[in-house]
Amino acid sequence: MKQSQRRSCLRWYMTTMRLEQRTSGLFKRTETLSLGSCHFRPRILIDVSKIDMTTNVLGFKISMPIMVAPTAMQKMAHPEGEYATARAASAAGTIMTLSSWATSSVEEVASTGPGIRFFQLYVYKNRKVVEQLVRRAEKAGFKAIALTVDTPRLGRRESDIKNRFTLPPNLTLKNFEGLDLGKMDEANDSGLASYVAGQIDRTLSWKDVQWLQTITSMPILVKGVLTGEDARIAIQAGAAGIIVSNHGARQLDYVPATISALEEVVKATQGRVPVFLDGGVRRGTDVFKALALGASGIFIGRPVVFSLAAEGEAGVRKVLQMLRDEFELTMALSGCRSLSEITRNHIITEWETPRHLPKL
């Protein structure tokens, strides 16, 4: 990408992000990380000439604790859609999570080349379809399942209702093509809401987390946890990890921002499984906040889709590099040379009691 194109991509991304935050109700819905919720306590006079951001996620080594969250229907943002995102994530040495509702199939994404990929799963009423899809993902080389558990019904997405949202006629949910499940019909309000009501299993429960373990050897991450109580149950049900997520603040108003729920979940797990944060990350400083509060890594969604719309694969590469550079700088200016050196003592939050200084 030329320098002028890079500047254009960055300017478009930042302008669109600010506009989207102002107009979509994100601040009311508390999806983003509040600017005043965390402040840094940087340490000084530490040799930070070498910074190591590498980490392991479920046994897979990646270049940084910044991963790509599942976002649906990416070909609505760019003609290459999930192909471009997969290539960009692979080039960055990190994990891409493919949505069940992708406009590219698991086989098509696998064909883009090597890379560590997870598969996000919605559980359909027809469990044979679920079994088939999970096995296809495993055969295609996907390494884990991110089971979304906060969508027994679709939240009231007023923009979708206003626009009578549906997929353009040239696109389908490719993973379900040929099963009479890939099309999304027009409706009086939201085509997506009608699709979810007709297909997604509202009876999903903790026993189904155990059921999934009988049909795949892939580890299962439970995505959509916001409380310590559910974190403990997830571990009892055999989850290999937990993703703290409020579904981009599009499911239920007045749930906490993910950063606010993170520490409660981390404490409840007592280190038995890794905990990841999904949603609200906009800068490398946000990545540092999440890790200081106990996250093993973070997933980004909107920044990927916006950059994909702006410049395709090059845009996604750019946003991943931007976050990486900002995170590295934050580590250096906080006196941290590796992820293990990022601790709770490096931040202070608006919700904690007055701090007592640790003994030297």
Q: Who has greater pLDDT, 307 or 204? A: 307
Q: Which residues are documented as binding site for glyoxylate?
A: 122, 157, 247, 250
**Which residues partner with 55 through β-bridges?**
62
Active-site residue list: 247
Which residues lie below 8 Å from residue 67, measured CB to CB, with a gap of 6+?
57, 89, 94, 95, 96, 97, 276, 297, 298, 299, 300
Q: Which residues are documented as binding site?
A: 70-72, 99, 120, 122, 148, 157, 223, 245, 247, 250, 278-282, 301-302
Q: Which residues are documented as binding site for FMN?
A: 70-72, 99, 120, 148, 223, 245, 278-282, 301-302
- Is the pLDDT confidence value at 8 over 60? no
What is the predicted pLDDT for the residue at 85? 98
Out of 70-74, 108-112, 151-155, 202-206, least confident range: 151-155
What is the predicted pLDDT for the residue at 200? 74
- CA dihedral of residues 328, 329, 330, 334 (deg, nearest 10): 110
What is the predicted pLDDT for the residue at 1? 46
Helix (H, G, I), strand (E, B), or coil: what is residue 152?
coil
> Was domain 3-351 assigned CATH 3.20.20.70?
yes
| Rounded-to-integer distance, Cα 18 and Cα 35, Å | 14
- Is the pLDDT confidence value at 22 over 70? no
% of the chain surpassing 70 pLDDT:
80
- CA dihedral of residues 221, 224, 230, 231 (deg, nearest 10): 40
Structural domain boundaries in the chain: 3-351
Out of 77-86, 129-138, 144-153, 340-349, least confident range: 144-153
- Is the pLDDT confidence value at 158 over 80? no
